[in-house]
Amino acid sequence: MRKKTTPYCILLAFLLGSFSGHRTYAQDYYSSTYQYKPVSLGITFAPNMAWMRHGDAEDYRNTPKFGFAYGLLADFAFTENYYFATGLLINTLNSDVEYTDLTHSYRLQYAEIPLTLKLKSTMRYFRSYYGQFGFTGGLKLNAKEKSPASTTRTSMGDEADFFRLALQIGGGVEWQLDHNMVMVTGLSFNNGFTRAIKAGEPRNSYVAFNFGIFF
């Protein structure tokens, strides 16, 4: 009798083990907490609103304009809650400056590398919150100006500075879409403290709406 029931016992144990493993996986997938990844890579698109700052000069009036940035993101974890956040962005900053009753439009494009510290809350219920602080360094890719006397943009050449350094602060929410995909939504303020162009020696700053996907 025992010999006849042995195969059935083995089959029953196999089925129970399979069901238990599937159940464990399901519970892990729908869990309210997740294991953090030591390295996360992603892509981003970030519309921005930029403007020039001429300090105490009263002859200049600055009007913000929309631009955008896109590129790659990378997060390197120190621990579950502390990350070094960097990447490579192509950032286009547009702004209008009025002086002597004439309006000049500027379009400055940089290759930027953020060097920031990101502080994250523990992921619960498919989301976590983060704050970010650090610096961005940018190299000029293109700089064009549209003057009142011209209907087209012309290259600024050496009139626009080659290097841009800025302070950045921001925050937002990361949304867990599945085990390997996280969506990022946030807002950041980038305050340039190096000269952008020679005319009037302004600095440029911007506010960006950040959207990204980590894989």
Among residues 187, 184, 193, the alpha carbon closest in space to that of 208 is found at 187
Query: What pLDDT, on a 0 to 100 scale, did the predictor assign at position 71?
Result: 98
Measured CA to CA, the distance from residue 202 to residue 180 in angstroms comes to: 43
| Number of domains present in the structure of the chain | 2
Q: Are residues 9 and 38 in the same domain?
A: no
Query: Is the pLDDT reported for residue 172 higher than 60?
Result: yes
16 and 85 inside one domain: no
pLDDT computed for residue 64 by the predictor? 95
* Interval 189-210: pLDDT, tens: 999 999 999 988 999 999 999 9
Using DSSP, state whether 127 is helix, strand or coil. Answer: strand
Highest mean pLDDT among 49-63, 148-162, 176-190: 176-190
In this prediction, residue 7 carries a pLDDT of 54
What does pLDDT average to over the chain?
87
Residues 188 and 82 in one domain: yes
Whether residue 143 is found in the same domain as residue 168: yes
If asked whether residues 51 and 131 sit together in one domain, one would say yes
On whether the CB atoms of residues 201 and 195 are closer than 8 A, the answer is: yes
Task: Identify the pLDDT of residue 28.
Answer: 46
Q: What pLDDT sits at residue 59?
A: 83
Average pLDDT over residues 55-73: 91
**Do both 89 and 18 map to the same domain?**
no
Q: Looking at per-residue confidence, does 59 or 30 come out higher?
A: 59
Domain CATH number, residue 145: 2.40.160.20
Residue 101 sits in the same domain as residue 188: yes
Q: Which residues pair with 89 in a beta bridge?
A: 71, 112
Residues 136 and 65 in one domain: yes
User: Of 11-15, 26-30, 94-98, 159-163, which range is least confident?
Assistant: 26-30
- pLDDT band at residue 44 under the 50/70/90 scheme: very high
Tell me: pLDDT of 31 over 60: no
Co-location of 17 and 72 in the same domain: no
Q: What is d(CA 110, CA 143) in angstroms, rounded to the nearest whole number? A: 9
Closest CA relative to residue 49, chosen from 31, 60, 37, 63? 63
Integer Cα distance of 69 and 124 in angstroms:
30
Parent domain of 18: 1-30
pLDDT in tens, 113-168: 999 999 999 988 899 999 999 999 999 999 999 988 777 899 999 999 999 999 99
Compute how many other C-beta atoms are within 10 angstroms of the C-beta atom of residue 156: 19
Of 151 and 18, more confident: 151
| Residue 8 confidence class, pLDDT cut points 50, 70, 90 | low
- Claim to verify: residue 114 and residue 65 sit in the same structural domain: yes
Same domain, residue pair 14 and 50: no
Question: Is the domain of 18 the same as that of 69?
Answer: no
What is the structure's pLDDT at 149? Answer: 76
